[in-house]
Amino acid sequence: MRLIILSLFISLQSLNPISQPKQLLEYKQICPVDMSKYAVLPEDQEAIRSFFGEGCRFTKLENADFIEIDIILKKAIEKREKKGGYNLVRNPDTYYKQVIAGVNQKGEKEVYLNCLCSVANKKDWKKVFIMVLDGGNCYFQVRINLKTKEVISFVVNGLG
């Protein structure tokens, strides 16, 4: 009798094998922002007016803003890559980013990013805005509206 029950159990098992439980949730790894590659430049109302226009004022950034900046910047670079061209930017994580943050006349937070491929000869890069003429895709500038997640401008330096 035991042998019959055991045989029946084994045969039923082969018809409906015990499957591994399905993974209910997929976790997306959130990579933290490498803050060693960011420099939030000190408040400078003249720079704010220059980059954002009259009526804008300086603002501070929160940690979540940097995550948003990284996401928007990567999407903008992917979009430019799809369009093609000669002066493409690749892998934004390798660039050093100087950030100036302001609030526009609508009360929306905007950032101006000055991106540099190297800061080797620029010891004050975390304090002083570095302006480079030419240099190709080693240098580019991006203006982003963090509220609307819109890239307002994206300029890659010329080749000289």
- Please check whether residue 20 lies inside any domain of the structure: no
Number of domains in the chain: 1
Assess contact for 69 and 54: CB atoms under 8 A.
no
> Which residue range(s) make up the domain with 53?
37-156
- Please check whether residue 77 lies inside any domain of the structure: yes
Q: What are phi and psi of 98, to 5 degrees?
A: -90, 135
Most confident of 4-18, 40-54, 66-80, 119-133: 66-80
What mean pLDDT is reported for the chain? 83
- Please check whether residue 12 lies inside any domain of the structure: no
- Please check whether residue 60 lies inside any domain of the structure: yes
Q: What is the pLDDT of residues 83-140, one digit of tens each?
A: 877 677 888 999 999 999 999 999 999 999 999 999 887 888 999 999 888 888 889 9
Q: What is the pTM of this model?
A: 0.76
- Please check whether residue 117 lies inside any domain of the structure: yes
Assess contact for 109 and 103: CB atoms under 8 A.
yes
137 vs 18, residue with greater confidence: 137
